[in-house]
Structure 1
Amino acid sequence: MTGINRPYRPEEDFLGPPVSLTLSPADPQAGSPVTLTATLTNTTRIALRGTVLHLAVNGSGWRCGLGNLAPGTTATRSWRTMLPPNVEGKITFTAHAIFDVHRHGSDCARATTSVRLPHQSLVGAFDNVGIASDDAVTAADIDGSRSSLSAQALASVGLSPGAVVTYDGVPFTWPATEPGDKDNAVSSGQTVLLSGSGSRLAFLGTSTWGEGKGEGAVVYADGSKQRFPVAVPDWYGRSGSAAVVVPYRNIVTGRDETPVSLFVFDVRLQGKPLHSVVLPKVGDGLQAGVPALHIFAMAVA
């Protein structure tokens, strides 16, 4: 095979050239234009031959040829595109340059940045599977150690998919999901759009691996912000402050007869039209041994 046993050439052993990526505007919105600008600088001692630059949004995008870049030269390219009107959550922007470094090999340089756009609804923010059927207990993992809520146990207390239940005077709609589908948001500072107005914004959820403590914020249509703290108890066991107690849970080896608790927690509103809520920042996601707050439903009342 050509090139496998050729002599070592020191000029081919180098740190890859840097590529940078910027966005304009820096905080783009769904349905609006955004411009990606990438700059590749050849900081190596050899020419980068046949260079191709890819710019992408969530993996889909545009490519252009930059040709050969001599040592010390820089190339900058921009791409303007429209974000889809229904895009939500974490959006990743990428600049990826590919080039030949000799006749038998190529290399690349890459830069990424991301923004978090508001979710259109709480369902759009669901990022965890917390409910499993008793005959498929490994289909969910609510705590990072393969435990889960039982779909059958939930149904026995009125929480079947799509059920409307009232706790603490607030009607909630339980997720209309099948066991094994994403059914809750691990509360980590996501923004969810709201509409209307009321006196309370209430949540139905629970915590794993200890009390879920953090701060969220209600954003009103006039731009004002109301911060609020939460401290939601752990799910394990029958809590006296629970909105509903589920008779058992699933663990990786099957059924655990220990009951688990779900809770209602809320923030008193100022009566103004709503724009969005920033879910409490309890952690950065699901991890065994680290407290996490799971939100299954919310309602303005």
Structure 2
Amino acid sequence: MRSAGLIGTLRAVAVAGVLALLPTAAAVGTAAAAESEPPSAAATTEVTISPVDLAGPAISTVKVTVTNAGPARMRSLTVSFGGPVGWAVQPSTVRVDGSLTAGASSDATFRIQVPEQRGGFTVRTFTATATYQGGDGLGSATATRTQRSGTPLARLADAYNNVAVTDESNTAPGDYDGEGNSFSAQKLADVGLRPGGTVDALGARLVWPNVPSGTRNNVTASGQAVTLNGSGSKLVFLGSGVTSGASGTATVYYTDGTSGTGTFGFPNWSFDPANAHGATLVASSDGRNRPSGYGNAGIKYRVFAHSIPLDPAKQVDFVVLPSNGNIHLFDMAVAP
């Protein structure tokens, strides 16, 4: 592959060689596509990834373009490209012949094996990295491109898949913990958690699920994507855990195509310390409903709040929940 703008004078090569000896540092390149990350203000070398055809099973061709926006000639340019785990790429690395003058661009072409498209919503990430000498003197630049398939759920209630609350007169439908146990609707009401009622926690106004007892009213997290609008400093989750391993990472996607992640967790709904995983206790109800009826009086069964940070300058588009079924969510909301 030949690059545009190749100039071969000995004087230019010598100058580029001297500039290549300047100290180097990590750089993040730009990805100009609408769904790619915005350019870093500190970077000058630009890396862009063409759209990937996701209509598999097929072999898709992807073009990675590197533009030398630095003052010096760019030499020894190597471009690597990769997609989701398990997606084969050929070749994995392309070495670009010659050199690039300031402002010149070069393309590297890759072929990626796209599997059969699955139903539901998915976000797939592709990454390209350019390494070089000269150019902006930084030595490397990276760009990522995210592409979506399907549509996020319109609201968290559309993801309800578990019965967490039952009436003491009919406990049979409950199965919050996988053993047929559930919160008592009466005891939750005693501590202020009623269907459709508001819950103020960690600066957010949340809502207790407005559904009848004995019906699905919470989400066991398994990577569901849910639409959520607003801007603020943090995203607050209302829920509790089953077992002591109820933690995971949520990903927030913004309307400008960028994203951020945050890790949170909840204590087990009973017995764990109330501040486990850094959570905040919201309410404690007395006892629980078992398949045989109400019981375990004197033991507290609890609901918690936790949060992850947001970029307050951006508008939230949707949230991808953690992939951990031990995390149970009743609501989530943006806090100022």
Shorter-chain TM-score bucket reads 0.5 to 0.7
Residues 90-129 of structure 1: CA deviation (Å, up to 9, x unaligned): 79xxxxxxxxxxxxxxxxxxxxxxx864110011111111
Deviation at 1:24, TM superposition (A): 7.3
The sequence identity of aligned pairs, in percent, is 34
Aligned residue-pair number: 188
The residue number in structure 1 matching 2:292 is: 253
Q: Distance in 2 between matches of 1:224 and 1:90?
A: 17
What SS does the aligned partner of 2:172 have?
A: helix
Counterparts of residues 79-228 of structure 1 (less than 5 Å): 117-228=151-262
Deviation at 1:195, TM superposition (A): 1.1
- 1:131–1:183 Cα contact (<8 Å) kept: yes
Question: Structure 2: which amino acid aligns with 1:247?
Answer: D
| Residue of structure 1 aligned with 2:266, choices 232, 235, 249 | 232
The residue number in structure 1 matching 2:317 is: 275
Deviation at 1:231, TM superposition (A): 2.4
Confirm whether residue 262 of structure 1 aligns to residue 299 of structure 2. no
Gaps of 5+ in 2: 1-52, 57-118, 123-148, 276-280
Q: Distance in 2 between matches of 1:246 and 1:227?
A: 32
What SS does the aligned partner of 2:213 have?
A: coil
What SS does the aligned partner of 1:259 have?
A: strand
**TM-score normalised over the length of structure 2:** 0.52
Say if 1:138 and 1:265 are closer, same or farther in 2 by CA, change over 3 A: same
Residues 12-66 of structure 1: CA deviation (Å, up to 9, x unaligned): xxxxxxxxxxx9746xxxxxxxxxxxxxxxxxxxxxxxxxxxxxxxxxxxxxxxx
Aligned CA RMSD, in angstroms, stands at 2.4
Deviation at 1:294, TM superposition (A): 0.4
**TM-score normalised over the length of structure 1:** 0.58
What SS does the aligned partner of 2:229 have?
A: coil
Question: Structure 2: which amino acid aligns with 1:186?
Answer: T
Q: Distance in 2 between matches of 1:126 and 1:204?
A: 14
Question: Structure 1: which amino acid aligns with 2:305?
Answer: V
Deviation at 1:89, TM superposition (A): 5.6
Deviation at 1:209, TM superposition (A): 2.1
- 2:157–2:218 Cα contact (<8 Å) kept: yes
Deviation at 1:210, TM superposition (A): 2.1
Q: Distance in 1 between matches of 2:163 and 2:150?
A: 21
Say if 1:227 and 1:194 are closer, same or farther in 2 by CA, change over 3 A: same
Residues 259-293 of structure 1: CA deviation (Å, up to 9, x unaligned): 1111101111111011110111114xxxxxxxx11
Please identify runs of 4+ aligned residues in structure 1 that moved more than 4 A. Answer: 23-26, 88-91
Question: Structure 2: which amino acid aligns with 1:298?
Answer: M
